[in-house]
Structures are given as C-alpha cells and as structure tokens.
Amino acid sequence: MKTSEDLKQLLDRIDHRGYPAYKDTRGVYQFGRYVLSIDHVQGDPFAAPSKLSVRVPGRTAGFPKELFDNKHKRVALQDELTRNFWNQIQQYSFQAKGSGKSGIISVTRCSQEILERTACEINPSSGDVTVRFEVGFPANGRTINARELKKILYDFLPSCVERALFYGRLDKKKIQRVMELSEDQAYIREQLETMGLVAFVANGAILPRESGVSQRPMKGAVPFVSPQSMEVTMELPYKGALSGMGIPRGVTLIVGGGYHGKSTLLKALESGVYPHIAGDGREYVVTDAAAMKIRAEDGRSIRHTDISMFINDLPNGKDTVAFDTEDASGSTSQAANVVESMEAGAKVFLIDEDTSATNFMVRDELMQRVIHRDMEPITPFIERVRALYEQFGISTVIVAGSSGAYFQVADTIVQMDRYVPREITEHAKTAARDYPRLELPKDGPGEPSFDRKIRRNPGLKNKGRVKIKTQGRDGVVLNHETIDLRYVEQLMDSEQLTSLGNIVKYLEEDVFDGRKTLKQTIEELYKKMDAQGLGAVCDGSYLPGNLAMPRKQEIYACLNRYRRLGTTS
Ligand code: ADP
Ligand code: MG
C-alpha cells in the first residue's frame, strides 16, 4: 500500500497544475493509525466535492465488542460516530481556502432518527470503522492548490479521526449510554409483540417538535402521561421499570377537540418505527416496525392494484381488481395506499382524518338513506376496519376529531384533553348506543390479489447510464422520471430517497424480467440488502457515503409511485 508520504510527494508534483491532475490522487494510503482512501476526485472546483473514506482498524479504534455485537447496537454506535465526526469537521470546513467548493469538508448530518447509513460502518467481526465523507479539493481558479489540500489531509483530518473515532478519546459513559438505550429500545419492540401491543408511549415522553422546520423537542411541552387504564410497565434491561401507554391491537380511536394534540401523538407513532437518539423526547416511543401511515394522495399514479375491497362498479366501468390510473382521486389513492401496505406486510395502519379523503373514511346514515348502497362505488374504511383486524390481523389507530361514527367500530377510545390522553371507551360506547347501528356490507373483503408481475421499462436505459437525482425529502428522479414521495410520510431523511433511487435503478437494470411479482422481487431484494447492506444495490467502484436504509415498506411505496413501473398480470 502507498503511504501518506507518497501522497505528499504526489501533491507537491501536481501543485499549480491544471485541476484534472488531481485525478492522480485516487488511491489508498496508509496514514499512521488509519487508512485514507480517495475514492473519487471531482472534475473541477465547482463540481460536487471529492469522495473520501477513512478506515480505522478495529484494534486501533478499540471499541469493546459488546458495544456492537448485534445489529441495533452496531447501527446506534455508527450513528453516534457519524455525529462525532460531523462535530469535529465543523471547525475545519472551509478553513482551507480557494475557489468554488475548495476546502469544504462534509459528512452526513444525522437526523433525530437512528438509521443505518453508509456514512459510517463498523465491520461486525473485525470492528474496523469506516467513515465516508466529502472534501472539496482546493484550487485557485482552476489551478491546483496542493498546499491547502495538505492542510486538510495532514493537519485537520488526523485530529478529526482521532477525536471522533478512537474509543480511547471518547466519553466512555456517553458511548455506553448509546448502547444501553439501543438495547432498551429493542427490548420495548420485542415486548410489543409479547404484550399484544401496537405501540408504547412512555410517561414523560415529549411528543411535539420545536417547529415545522425543526425536529428537536418543543421546549416547555406538556410531558406525556398514560391514562391509568392503559398503563403498562416494562422492565428494561438497563433503564429498569418504565411505564407508559400501551396501545393494544385492534381498532384504536383518538378523539378530542381541535388543537388538543391528536395529530402530534399520531406523528410520534409514525416515527416510532425508528429508534430516536437520547434527548429527542421520543426515545421511548416505540411503534410496531411495520406500521404504515395511510393518507389520501390525490394525483398519484396507481399500477394494477386491487382496490376492489373499497371500490367497485365505477360508472366508467373501469376494472378495480387491477386498477390503473395516472391521476388518482382522494378516495382511490387512499384505497391503494391501504392495499399496497397490506402487500408490504403492514400490521398496523396509522390514519389522521386531517389527511384523509372524507368519502373514503365514512358515509353517514342520512347519505346512506338517500343514496342507496348499490349506487355508491365506495365501501368506506369504517365498514372494513374491523374485517381488516379480524380477517387479516391488521390493527388501526385513527385520529378522528369530527366524526363520531368510528365509536361503534373501535375497541379502544382515547380522548386527547389539553395534550393529556384519557381513556373514554365506555363513555363513548354508551353515547353511541342511542344512534342507528352501522350497517356492515354483507360480504367481507376478499384477499386482495398481489399477482402483479413486473417487466423492465425499456425506455429508461435508452440514453446509456441511468442518472439518479434526489430532490431533498420530496422525490427522486431517474433520468427524467420523477417519483413523487412527498406523501410517503415515514421517509425521514433524503438519504433514504437516494437509496430508493439506487434501488429502482438496480431493479430496472438487473432484476425486473416480467416473471416475478412485485412482492417476490422486493422480498428477495430486502433479504439481500439486510445481509449485504446498501452496497447490494450500488454499482460503481466505491460505496457512496450518502445512503440511508429505507424500510421495506417504503421500497414498496416508492415502486408503487413509479409511473413507469412495467406491470403485467
Ligand atoms: P390536533 O390534531 O388535536 O388538532 P395537534 O396535534 O396538531 O392538535 O397540536 C396542536 C398544537 O399543540 C401544535 O402546535 C402542537 O405542537 C402543540 N402540542 C401538541 N402536543 C403538545 C404538548 N404535549 N405540549 C405542548 N404543546 C403541544
Ligand atoms: Mg390534527
């Protein structure tokens, strides 16, 4: 292997030459206690910065095995080290000077959720720590300024690496707490299963966020307190006894006046599919990992989806067993979201009336009297929600502040009262008794058909390589095809969208062949990604440091919104 000294000599040779000479620096160099790899060199000072990575051998990094000897511990430690590295480089970014992006040093900025990312990876057997980051190679105009790059590589980085990635230099108590929290969170998730719960919200949790643009906890918020009747206590391995609200399986209704905290609770449940960092306020809010937010999404495309459990006999005679549209209505989009989530294996639906299509959710008594059932293509969700639980084992948590109709079908009713939940099941059921009984359709829903086979979209590769561009949290573009993901609300981070772009590209280029169903394809792919990480879906000579793992459910959601999905059946 070449050494840091070799790289220094190379830099001296190319100093003051044209920018492309930087390309020669690509390679792997031994730097004292770690290995620096220059994976990709930018073409000019204004282009996206160069891609670098650092690998610290396990023995040097020195993290005790028990800090990363299972997947969730390892992911939590990786997350912590990424944050450390981010903190370290802040003081150095743009300290080396020059034109364009000269001197920038950047790494993933982690969110409140703890996600598996390529920014930092710990090898489970060797304990080697790899961090992937970007550096803007400095230039004056378009002329190489090697002196400034030497500052970065020989002064700044060694200090960042040692202070962020060497166990001996870190606050050991803090690292220990990261591991303990991760174990406690995993334990709660296990307990959900054994205790028959879909979610747990600890007493003392802070659910509201600071603002619409900040995911940090709101200051001075009212801490969560479980209603006594729903309180459960878990004995966590490290924290010990922890009590909170256990939301049981079945149909749970959250009611209450406007502004009393209903949507805030539901949002916390949505993001509870991921673990949160200490201090977030939601670190002990844990939801079934396969819970899906279901909402209306006018305008989305639907490909060969069986929405017949909700929609039938459309006036235009359109097939609803293999329903296709480029421009779904509120109700058809929400129906598709339900059925596709069933396909994706969701065991819990999370629904807020604020973001639902009213005609999908309910049809009131008076309307039923005036417009006969036979004239209405929509079987509303209220008439299916019990069957979804009883036939398919799918629980639902619904926020409904304005319609009492769901009282009749709910198992558990919670009222939010000035941000404090109260259980009012008995009271609400009694009140509902005087009202006409909800009439359920004679036939239960049939098992939706999930037999969509997917063939390659020949149009995508016409112009050679498929280019992926991520539009923040909103969508991902493959060549000129935009996949709109704004309303897939449990995508937490733009890096998950970048991964989804790579996944679609990979499936289009290497997998879709018209023989396998969407379900078979995604299940196989996810197994592979679980074993091999995000590298399984990336081509190219190096692994980019800007990918985060999406859930399997969001891979389904992404492909289902891909307008060029080549469905056949
Ligand atoms: P709803 O859905 O019942 O109308 P929201 O959940 O949208 O109510 O909450 C209304 C407002 O109250 C939001 O601005 C939210 O940030 C704030 N809020 C929610 N929960 C709390 C809490 N526990 N403490 C303080 N403010 C809260
Ligand atoms: Mg609301």
What phi, psi does 39 have (nearest 5°)?
-85, -35
* 256's tokens: 């209450």
pLDDT of res. 539: 87
Report the C-alpha gap between 155 and 56 in whole angstroms. Answer: 17
Residue 429 confidence (pLDDT): 92
- All residues at 6 or more sequence positions from 326 whose CB lies less than 8 Å from its CB, including other chains: 301, 563
pLDDT in tens, 99-149: 999 999 999 999 999 999 999 999 999 999 999 999 999 999 999 999 999
Could you identify the atom of ligand 1 that is nearest to the CA of residue 416? Answer: 3
Predicted pLDDT of residue 544:
96
Q: Phi, psi (5° rounding) for residue 226?
A: -70, 145
Q: Look at residue 445 and give its three-state secondary structure.
A: coil
Using one digit for the tens of pLDDT, what is the confidence trace for 310-363?
A: 999 888 888 899 999 999 999 999 999 999 999 999 999 999 999 999 999 998
**CATH fold for the domain made of 189-450:** Rossmann fold (3.40.50)
* Environment of ion ligand 2 (residues, CB < 5 A): 263, 354
pLDDT band at 412 (very low <50, low <70, confident <90, very high): very high
**558 pLDDT tier (thresholds 50, 70, 90):** very high
3-state SS of 307-343 is: CCCCECCCCCCCCCCCEEECCCCHHHHHHHHHHHHHH
Mean pLDDT over all residues of the chain?
A: 95
Between the CA of 254 and the centroid of ligand 2 the distance, in Å, is 10
Mutation test residue for ligand 1: of 264, 270, 399, 414, the one with most atoms within 8 Å of CB? 264
pLDDT one-digit tens code per residue, 539-549: 889 999 999 99
Report helix, strand or coil for 9.
helix
* Structure confidence at residue 569 (pLDDT): 67
Predicted confidence at residue 333, as pLDDT, reads 98
Task: Write out pLDDT tens, residues 442-474.
Answer: 888 999 999 999 999 887 766 677 899 999 999
Closest ligand 1 atom to Cα of 209: 16
Secondary structure E strands in 448-500? 453-455, 468-471, 475-478, 481-484
Output the CA torsion 210→215→221→222 (10° steps).
150
**What does the pLDDT look like over 260-312, one tens digit per residue?**
999 999 999 999 999 999 999 999 999 999 999 999 999 999 999 999 999 99
pLDDT higher than 80, residue 78: yes
Domain limits, the chain: 2-170, 189-450, 453-568
Asked whether the predicted pLDDT for residue 385 surpasses 70, the reply is yes
Q: Which residue has the higher pLDDT, 404 or 360?
A: 360
Report the separation in Å between the CA atom of 195 and the middle of ligand 1, taken as the mean of its atom positions. Answer: 29
Query: 0.85 exceeded by the pTM?
Result: yes
Does 117 sit in the ligand 1 pocket, CB within 6 Å?
no
Pocket test for ligand 1, best of 259, 265, 282 (most atoms within 8 A of CB): 259
> Which pLDDT score, from 0 to 100, does residue 369 have?
81
d(CA 286, CA 63): 28
Question: How much of the chain, in percent, has pLDDT values that exceed 90?
Answer: 88
Average pLDDT over residues 52-81: 98
Q: Is the CB of 355 under 6 A from ligand 1?
A: no
What share of the chain in percent tops pLDDT 70? 99
The pLDDT of 230-235, averaged and rounded, is 98
Residues, the chain, total?
Answer: 569
Ligand number nearest to the C-alpha of 282: 1
Arithmetic mean of pLDDT, 232-251 = 98
* Interior/surface letters 241-279, b for 16+ CB within 10 angstroms, e for the rest: ebebbbbbbbbbbbbbeeebbbbbbbbbbbbbbbbbbee
User: Would you tell me how many other CB atoms lie within 10 Å of the CB of residue 310?
Assistant: 24
Cβ of 207 closer than 6 Å to ligand 1, yes or no, is yes
